[in-house]
Amino acid sequence: MTAAIPALTRHLRPWLAAICLGAASLALTPPAEARGPDGIADVAEKVIDAVVNISTSQTVEAKGGPSEGKGAMPKLPPGSPFEEFFDDFFKNRHGGQGGGDVQPHKTTSLGSGFIIDTSGIVVTNNHVIDGADEINVIMNDGSKFKAQLVGVDKKTDLAVLKFKPNKPLTAVKFGDSDKLRLGEWVIAIGNPFSLGGTVTAGIVSARNRDISQGPYDNYIQTDAAINRGNSGGPLFNLDGDVIGVNTLIISPTGGSIGIGFAVPSKTVAGVVAQLRQYGELRRGWLGVRIQQVTDEIAESLSIKPARGALIAGVDDKGPAKPAGIVPGDVVVKFDGKDIKEPRDLSRVVADTAVGKEVDVVLIRKGAEQTVKVTLGKLDDGGDKPVQVSNKTQEPTEKPVTQKALGLDLATLSKDLRSRYKIKDSVKGVIITNVDSSSDAAEKRLSPGEVIVEVAQEAVSSAADVKKRIDQIKKDGKKSVLLLVANSDGELRFVALSVQ
């Protein structure tokens, strides 16, 4: 009996192995819903002919002389599949010395795009075609058409092209990106690494992402595989509608690690409509400088909870001035839309039609009020966050000063105005020194800046500042709000602890 057991085991071993393998297969096979919805293939089949490859070429001027990088690798547009080729080519030739001819030469790059109108209108990223001498649209069947540039918007990295088709086209339409939900399935189609017609799927990982790429950041984040060459390609929902334009990835290797970003269709549709109509963007302009409402600033302004966009400055020629908006106002609603932070105001103002009269709800000295503003057209700077200066300048001789909150303060004299090159239009009390261990230093106040207001009251002498701060301490408040100007008169608000 004992001898039969090993024999029996040998006979059963293949069966046992098969049973174990089958069990493992069952255990490792995910349920259908974990693999994604079955509709992905149907969507891809319906829209793939509307997705195109964008091929560009540009002439790269050679730089003369070794000191200018003779024979150096050309700078190619992001997403170019030729980056690796040129990297190897230029590093390996002539023993890695980067030698070679100095003649101008052409470089080529590839990206993605999609057709939104059967007349031959294509949407892509600006960085895909930026600087190109020639742009070609390559269809899914391989046919190639020369394209013309209709217009670009660098701030949202979008471009519109047009070409003349010789056959009927498939076009796709924009969906509503505002209705996207976290976890919703999305499909990316594009031209990664020049492979063309590639379909990937994933979910919406996040919405309204601000990744500091521009003033109107509002990206959709997805884990659908997006790689170099996918730039400008569409992101679809399961209805086959475009809900985003794939634009950026975060990757230490250049390949997808599941963190990709798309410009939402609501933004894209508005930009595309204006580019088609005007060839340029006509963004609304309020004519203000704005900054974040911190908890300390909110406490100083009696705003609970901290929210909105704080008006730090008003352009003398902008629409906000005649409407009565002043520094210290906090915008909490614009044209019926809630403003939670400064970038909300930047986006909604930009998206509002030029010349439209809108209601602006703001908080002034703790009380809410509504003003009407007729928007102008953004030409250059627009409504942008305050840039905090890091400049420091030490005076050659110290004037008579008073100390408060880690600051040495002096009445603004002609000598001090000249020493710090402060414009005549700037009025207030000058900071001559900042204690490096103080809250003022942490808030990046520096010598040469001028305190214009303390707790929304104008000051003209160091004694005025000291008196106002002492009163605020006596009132039991935790912080004091200062309105500070730089030498050019640009304003910002700073809240300092008085504890």
- Reported as half-sphere exposure (CB side, CA atoms, 13 A), residue 347 has a value of 22
Beta-carbon contacts of residue 441 (< 8 Å; ≥ 6 apart):
406, 434, 435
Q: Which residues contact 330 (CB under 8 A, 6 or more apart)?
A: 293, 301, 303, 307, 308, 309, 310, 311, 362, 363, 364
Cα separation, 227 vs 191, in Å, equals 9
Distance CA 236, CA 129 (A): 22
Contact predicate 162/277, CB 8 Å = no
Residues with active-site annotation: 127, 157, 231
- Residue linked to tokens 């069966």: 15
Burial class (CB within 10 angstroms; exposed 0-12, middle 13-18, buried 19+) of 440: buried
Integer CA distances (angstroms), 31 to 27, 36, 186, in order: 10, 9, 19
Amino acid type, 481: L
The vertex-430 CA angle with 424 and 431, nearest 5°, equals 145
Convert 109-159 into a string of H (helix), E (strand) and C (coil). Answer: EEEEEEEEECCCEEEEEHHHHCCCCEEEEECCCCCEEEEEEEEEECCCCEE
Phi-psi region of 340 (alpha: psi -120 to 50; beta: other; left: phi over 0): alpha
Alpha carbon separation from 471 to 289, 428, 451, 476 (Å, rounded): 29, 19, 17, 9
Nearest to 230 by CA among 188, 265, 263: 188
